[in-house]
Amino acid sequence: MVRSSDLIDPSVAAGEDLVVLRPEGLYCPAGNFYIDPWRPVDRAIVTHAHADHARRGHGHYLAHTASRDVLRTRLGEISLQELAYGESIDHFGVRVSLHPAGHVLGSAQVRLEHRGRVWVAAGDYFVSGTRHDPGDSNATCTPFEPVPCHCFITESTFGLPVYRWAPQRDVFAAINHWWSENAAAGRCSLLLGYSFGKAQRLLAGVDAGIGPIVVHAAVDALNRAYRAAGVALPPTKLADQVNDKSTFRGALVVAPPAVQQSGWSRRLGETSEAFASGCMQLRGARRRRNVDRGFVLSDHADWSGLQRAIAGTGAGRVIVTHGYEDVMVRWLREQGLEAGSFVTEYGDDHEQVVEAQAPGAAGAGQVGP
Ligand SMILES: [Zn+2]
Ligand SMILES: [Zn+2]
């Protein structure tokens, strides 16, 4: 049961839900601020710097310190208050703190505490579904931490049982093998992944001993933010500065999907193309993407990761956002939890793709505006 908001006056809202849905976005009536709003508001807490969560035009932003560089690059000179993980502030009696979400650099869950009630809005997050494997986290950011709460607001980008990620070391072994074979044959390996988050995760995970690594300028811009934050990435060359085209033979080139079949990628010479995304799990996704290889690597939790994350909070109530809301809500209710959904405008930035509709999934593949 979702209480979509008709609560306008913050004082009236005291004792009610800590987060409600408004046309502008997720709203905390007690604190009079929004979380990842999609329309301009006065005060916004931003979970991470992906474009569907961090939008232009807000009066004041609050985000994790490590999001600063990417936010400023994307949004310009915004009024930004920064918090470290675990640090808290008090806003109109609501205690606000940020906790690692394991999704991208600076990604945070937002914990709200007011009069003994605790709610957590997780934003996008990555939790491995593989139990007891501490190495199976996103190496390019602080791993997800379960935060105990009464109500947990969760994404559901890959909230279908068909989504089960293999351990990352297996995925990277497959990528390294593909790159090695191409290098031996004198081909370039073009690995497509979104430039903020996925590209850095790929760079951090591959075996840099196989050959030179070349990146697109869009990836390089984000690499700088990651390196500045102390994240170890292998040495890379900027593609536009490679004059000797023979460099591309045997190289791994990491670029955003937009370069596919462009003049930019044609100059790489003979190339094997691969795409790295969670949506590659679905049959036919590789063919629809028109690539030689698909690697299933996601910065979002898979079906079992979502379940693990939810269980880890101990929440009795769960509100599901962007993805497969209907499937998740049904499953949560079967587990005896109180569950509902918020219709949001997230999900148009990165991994969700329109064609990634699985059979029988109502509301699947929602991509936002
Ligand atoms: Zn995201
Ligand atoms: Zn998102």
Q: Which ligand is located closest to the Cα atom of residue 101? A: 1
85 CB neighbour count, 10 Å cutoff:
17
The lowest-confidence range among 57-61, 160-164, 333-337, 363-367 is: 363-367
Q: Which ligand has the shortest distance to the CA of 52? A: 2
DSSP one-letter string for 77-125: S--EEEE-BT-EEEETTEEEEEEE-SSSTT-EEEEEEETTEEEEE--S-
Tell me the pLDDT tens digit for each residue of 208-256. 999 999 999 999 999 999 999 999 999 999 999 999 999 999 999 999 9
| 3, part of any domain | no
Q: Which ligand is nearest to the Cα of residue 348, counting in written order?
A: 2
The CATH number linked to 14 is 3.60.15.10
The residue behind tokens 């609050």 is 62
Separation of CA 363 and ligand 1 centre (Å): 19
Q: How far apart are CA 288 and CA 290, in angstroms?
A: 5
Proximal ligand: closest to the CA of 321: 2
The CATH number linked to 275 is: 3.40.50
**Are 204 and 305 part of one and the same domain?**
no
- Same domain for 95 and 48? yes
Q: Give me ligand 2 centre to Cα 268, in Å.
A: 31
Structural domain count of the chain: 2
pLDDT at 349: 53
**Ligand 2 being an ion, which residues bring their Cβ within 5 A of it?**
52, 124, 346
> Any idea of the CA torsion for 172, 177, 183, 186, to the nearest 10 degrees?
-130
Provide the pLDDT for residue 131.
66
Number of the ligand closest to the Cα of 347: 2
Cα 244 to its chain centre, rounded Å, is 35
How many A from CA of 6 to the centre of ligand 2? Answer: 26
pTM: 0.89
pLDDT value, residue 261: 80
The pLDDT of residue 179 is 98
- Could you tell me if residue 115 is inside a domain? yes
Residue 132: per-residue pLDDT: 61
Structural domain that includes position 173: 168-295
Instruction: State whether 122 and 258 are in the same domain.
Output: no
Report how far ligand 2's centroid is from the alpha carbon of 350 (Å). Answer: 7
Claim to verify: residue 111 and residue 131 sit in the same structural domain: yes
Ligand number nearest CA of 194 is 1
Ligand 2 mean position to 124 CA, how many Å? Answer: 5
Q: Are residues 218 and 305 in the same domain?
A: no
